[in-house]
Amino acid sequence: MLRSFQLADFLTLGNAACGIGAVLLALNSIATASPLQLLYAAALAPAALVFDVLDGRVARWRQTSSALGRELDSLADVISFGVAPAALGFACGLRGGWDAVILVYFVCCGVSRLARYNVTAETLSEGSDKVAYFEGTPIPTSVLLTAVLAAATWQGRIGEQMLGGSWALGPWQLHPLTLLFALSGTLMISKTLRIPKF
């Protein structure tokens, strides 16, 4: 199978590798109580973004865009910009019951947004090889969430000292910081929000 891959596809795999690396580092930070592991995990988000930008540019430059490449790109994006930020948030201390619900919602929004993009990409491109605009925010915008978590980690505002504190709502806890994930997910699945693609 790898023989059929184009250069852009290998860059996409670099994106996926950064995402799973971030997840593993986030998990390891829970086991070792090491904030440094969290910072390493967060640092992989911009690296994944670089791979994500490069794979599209290389595919267009070499005129090797394919359905396989588009599916690979979406799967890699789910890991790097959906699952990894949620895992990082959990590792930082967003572990209340409501936090978990919101993190699951965020990932499901990311998956839904990418599925919609794959289905509507040809319509949105209007006959050209490039989509004119995004419906909803692109999933890589979750790099901003990762940046917020990295800043909180750097300042020691994670765990018991979580940035924004914690609220008791019914049977579960909610960290207000998790609401950024809810906002991000909601913007991703918006049908009316249109963002020009450059």
pLDDT tens for residues 138-175? 999 999 999 999 999 999 999 999 999 999 999 999 99
Quick check: 137 and 191 in contact, CB under 8 A? Answer: no
Please state, in angstroms and rounded to a whole number, the distance separating the CA atoms of residues 124 and 6: 24
Higher pLDDT, 79 or 163: 79
Quick check: 39 and 153 in contact, CB under 8 A? Answer: yes
Q: Which H or E run contains 196?
A: strand 194-196
pLDDT band at residue 57 under the 50/70/90 scheme: confident
Residues paired with 168 in a beta bridge: 173
Whether residue 126 has pLDDT greater than 70: no
Share of the chain above pLDDT 90, in %: 70
Note if the pTM is more than 0.85.
yes
Structural domains of the chain, ranges and CATH numbers in brackets = 2-196 (1.20.120)
